[in-house]
Amino acid sequence: MTVDFAARLQVVVARIRSAEMRFGRPSGSVGLVAVSKTHPAADIAAVAAAGQRGFGENYWQEAAAKLPALVALDLEWHFIGPLQANKTRSIAEQFAWVHSVDRLKIAERLSQQRPTALPPLKVCLQVNVSGEPSKHGLDASDLPIVAHAVAVLPRLRLCGLMAIPAPATDFAAQRRPFARLRELQKALIADGLALDTLSMGMSDDLEAAIAEGSTLVRIGTAIFGARA
Ligand SMILES: *Cc1c(COP(=O)(O)O)cnc(C)c1O
C-alpha cells in the first residue's frame, strides 16, 4: 500500500493553522518540524516533495545513514534527541538546529565544533517541565545560569526552550507544562535574553502547545505513521 504523505502533511498543516486561529495566534507563526526517526530516506523525500523543508532526527547514527541520499533536497535538519559528547562534532557540522541541549558542556562543544563557514547553530535548551527524575532536560532551577552561559557562546544562537512533557490526555492537563515552559521563557526574556522560540507540541498535543505559545511543533506519527 502506498501512503499519501502529501495528504497527511496537509492534515497536519491544517491542524496547525486551525489552532493558530482558535487561540489568537498570527497565521503562519507556528513552524513545523517533521520528525522522521525510524522512517526511511524515501519517505522523507516524499514528504519533502509535498513541500516540507524542516526534518527532525533523534539519533546521529540513524541520521548519518539517511542524510547522504537527501543532500540534493536542501532540507533543514533539526537534532531533537539525547546528546552524547562523542557525537557533537557530526551534529555541529550537519544540522541547522539542536533542540535538546541540556547541559553547558555539550553547548560548549557544539560551539567549538560548529564550522565557521556555516551560520551559527540554532539551539534550544531542553527543560524537564514535568519534573520527572529520569527524564532528560535541565531542571528549571538551573535554567537561568545555563541560559546566560549558552547565550554568549560564539558559534551558537540560543533561540529558546524545548520540552517533552509526560503524556496527558485531557486538554487542560496537556496545557499546564507548556504554560510552564512559556513562563520560563518569559522570565529569561525579562532578564535580557533575546529568545523567540518555543519548541513544543507533538502529534497528540500540538493544539495545547499552540494554545500556550509554541512556535515550532515537532510532528512524527501524524505525518510518517506509527513507529515500529
Ligand atoms: C519522536 C519525537 C517527536 C514526535 O512525536 P510524535 O508523537 O510521533 O509526533 C517529537 N519530539 C521528539 C523529541 C521526539 O523524540
Confirm or reject: Cβ of 202 under 6 Å from ligand 1.
yes
**For ligand 1, mutation pick of 35, 100, 136, 216 (most atoms within 8 Å of CB):** 35
Pocket flag, ligand 1, residue 218 (CB < 6 Å): yes
Protein residue with least CA distance to atom 4, ligand 1: 220
For residue 6 the three cell numbers come to: 502529501
Q: What is the pLDDT of residue 193?
A: 98
What integer is the mean pLDDT of 171-197?
98
* Domain at 149, CATH number: 3.20.20.10
pLDDT beyond 70 at 134: no
> Measured between alpha carbons, how far is 57 from 148 in angstroms, rounded to an integer?
27
Q: Which atom of ligand 1 is nearest to the CA of 221?
A: 8
Provide the residue range defining the domain that includes 45. Answer: 5-224
Question: Tens digit of pLDDT for each residue in 23-36?
Answer: 999 999 999 999 99
How confident is the model over 196-211, as pLDDT tens digits?
999 999 999 999 999 9
What percentage of residues in the chain have a pLDDT greater than 90? 95
Give pLDDT, residue 2.
79
Query: What does pTM read for this prediction?
Result: 0.97
pLDDT class of 39 with cuts at 50, 70, 90: very high
pLDDT at 3 over 90: no
Average pLDDT value over all residues in the chain = 96
> Vertex 198, ends 27 and 30: CA angle to 5°?
15
Distance 225 CA to ligand 1 centre (A): 12
For residue 196, report the distance from its CA to the centre of ligand 1, in Å: 21
User: How far apart are the CA of 50 and the centre of ligand 1, in A?
Assistant: 20
- Comparing C-alpha atoms, which of 219, 186, 205 is closest to residue 19? 205
Number of folded domains in the chain? 1
**Cα–ligand 1 centroid distance for 207 (angstroms):** 15
CA count, 13 A, side-chain hemisphere, 222: 20
206 lines ligand 1 (CB under 6 A): no
CA distance 166 to 154: 33
pLDDT digits (tens, 9 = 90+) for 71-124: 999 999 999 999 999 999 999 999 999 999 999 999 999 999 999 999 999 999
For residue 135, the model assigns a pLDDT of: 77
| Percent of the chain surpassing pLDDT 70 | 99
32 lines ligand 1 (CB under 6 A): no
pLDDT above 90: residue 132: no
Counting from 1 in the atom list of ligand 1, the atom nearest the Cα of 203 is 9
- Candidates 15, 5, 11, 6; CA nearest to 206 is 15
CA-227 nearest atom, ligand 1:
8
* pLDDT at residue 147 greater than cutoff 70: yes
Instruction: Supply the pLDDT for residue 136.
Output: 86
